[in-house]
Structures are given as C-alpha cells and as structure tokens.
Amino acid sequence: NEGNEYFKEKDYGRAVAAYSEGLRRRCGDAELDAVLLANRGAAHFHLGNYRSALNDAIQARKLKPTHLKAIIRGALCHMELRNFLEAIAWCEEGLQIDSNEKKLVEIRAKADKLKVNMKAACLSLWDPWREGAPSRFLCGERNIKLVLEPSDEEEDVSDGLAEISLDGFHSDSATGAKVHLDADGSLNWPVLFLYPEHEQTDFTVAFHENSRFIDHLMVMFAELPPWDLEKKYLPNNLELYFEDEEREEMYEVNPEHTLLQVLQHERYFVKAGTPTVLVFAKRSPFSKKYFSGKKVHRL
C-alpha cells in the first residue's frame, strides 16, 4: 500500500524501495509477491531502469504465468531495449491469455514494424566485411579500430557476434544486435559485459557512445543479481577491463569514461561489431587469480 501511494505521487524511487521491502518480508503468498514484482517493475520502468523492470516482469510471470500486467510490462521493456522479436513473443503469449487485450495488440504491431525498419537500417549501416560500409567510415572518423577479417573460429558467423571465449568461458547470448546511428548522428553500440567469476553476461543493446560506464552500472546493479550471493557486485565496487588479445594484456577501464573514450584507446579493437568489457568485484580472490601472470595496465 505504501508503494502504491508513492507510485501515485510519481515518487518512483521510494515506490521501488517500498515494494522491495514487501518482497523481503517473504510472506509466502505467490499471488501477492507477483503483484509486488509487477508493481516494482512498473516503478523501475518509469525510472528508465528497463533491465530491472524486465527482471521483475520475468519473476512475476514465473509466479503467475497469467499475470497480464507483468506480460505487458515485459513486452514494453523489450521495446525500450530494442528487442523487438522478444517483445512480439511476449505479446503473443499474452494474447493467448486474452486475445482482446488492446495494449498487447498495439505493442505487437509496433514491434513488428520497428523490427522491419531496424533490419533495413542495420543492413545499410553495419556490415563490417562489406567494402565501403557506412559504419567503417563512421568508425574511422572516430578513430575506432574494427577487426574486420573473421578468424578461423568466426568463419561461420554471418550475422553479428562471434563467440567470445575467455579461459573457457563462452558466451553467445548477444547475437542479433548491431551498432546503429541515431537522429543526432551518434553511434549506439551493442555492448557485452562478461563476469568471468560467475560465468554470467549482461548485454546492453544500445549503449550511446557518449554515455559513461558508471551510468549503466548504476542501472544494471540497482538490484543485486541473483547469482551474486556474496553481495559484492555493487556499482562502486566494480572494476572494468578490456583485453588486448594480440599482446595478451589487460587494460583497466575508468568507469567515469564514456564508451567512445574507451573505444578510442590505442589498444582497443572492436571485434565482430560488439565491444566487450570484463567486470570483476574489487579486490576479490578470483580477480587476483585471474590476473596472475598477466600484464595489467592499471589506471
């Protein structure tokens, strides 16, 4: 009830805190927990925390698969994250529950249209192996270095992201998204975050080149991820790195820097159209072991 009052007053930050407190009470009522999750997701959505909002929608749907509000919210989150195929899938699932739900019909139609438009835009902008591609000019103008020739392991990758492999940690979850140009002439990149300690990943579909890493971390870790049992992955307790594979060296990334500043580093090479960053908890035993024997360029 407290959360609902804050929500009505458009005090979404306090609404999130109130709904979270309700969930921490662990009442054991799945119906109520689903409502709390859906409501918290709505508050996160209004704050622009689309990843957190989507996570809440997913959890609410697990507790109550017929929860239409959670399904609508999940579809809207996918729209904001430019995951149009996923948005359509959520809409289809919701329409199986209520075929007359106008909001889902509207979202599905919009997602279908944007999916076609985005595909056309991506084809015209990003094909790194095509001679004279506009993206090559835009990146060259920004002094961003692209790895354009696929390696032996990447020959079969035709549309997007090559598999990332780091000490046996593989991720192919970020397929399909491509860099795109917005109306202001800025590039928005798909960025892959790797968490080697937990073999987990995060994927940001549209990371604006002038956005700082810390701003994304504040959103991504507004809620502790379920795999962080030790509660170490807090926005201000994280270290970011990129790897220079040619020299087998690691470079620490300043979280206050923008994506463009990092991409312009003399030893950063964008592989397969997707910038990649490794994330570690500060002073963790795992990171000490991970960096053992490697040359690390610290800030």
Does one domain contain both 144 and 252? yes
- Please, what is the end-to-end C-alpha distance for the chain in angstroms? 47
Cβ neighbors of 120 (< 8 A, separation 6 or more) are none
Residue 127 located in a structural domain: no
| Cβ contact 181:267 at 8 Å | no
Q: Are strands 187-195 and 180-181 parallel, antiparallel or unpaired?
A: antiparallel
Select from 262, 260, 221, 223 the least CA-distant residue to 238. 221
pLDDT in tens, 225-258: 888 999 999 999 999 999 998 888 999 999 999 9
* 148 three-class SS: coil
Please give the distance of CA 213 from its chain centroid, rounded to a whole number. 12
* 157 three-class SS: coil
Does one domain contain both 94 and 193? no
Does one domain contain both 142 and 278? yes
Does one domain contain both 73 and 220? no
**DSSP-assigned letters across all residues of 10-24:** T-HHHHHHHHHHHHH
Beta-bridge partner residues of 253 = 240
Residue 254 located in a structural domain: yes
Cβ neighbors of 139 (< 8 A, separation 6 or more) are 145, 146, 187, 270
Residue 41 located in a structural domain: yes
Does one domain contain both 188 and 287? yes
Range of the domain at 242: 133-148+175-298
Residue 167 located in a structural domain: no
Q: What is the CATH number of the domain that holds 291?
A: 3.10.20.90
pTM: 0.53
In this prediction, residue 171 has a pLDDT band, given cuts at 50, 70 and 90, of very low
Q: Which two tokens stand for residue 22?
A: 């309700």
Q: What is the CATH number of the domain that holds 62?
A: 1.25.40.10
Domain count, the chain: 2
* 76 three-class SS: helix
pLDDT in tens, 174-206: 445 678 777 777 888 989 999 999 988 888 888
pLDDT in tens, 209-218: 999 999 889 8
Does one domain contain both 239 and 142? yes
Residue 43 located in a structural domain: yes
Does one domain contain both 102 and 141? no
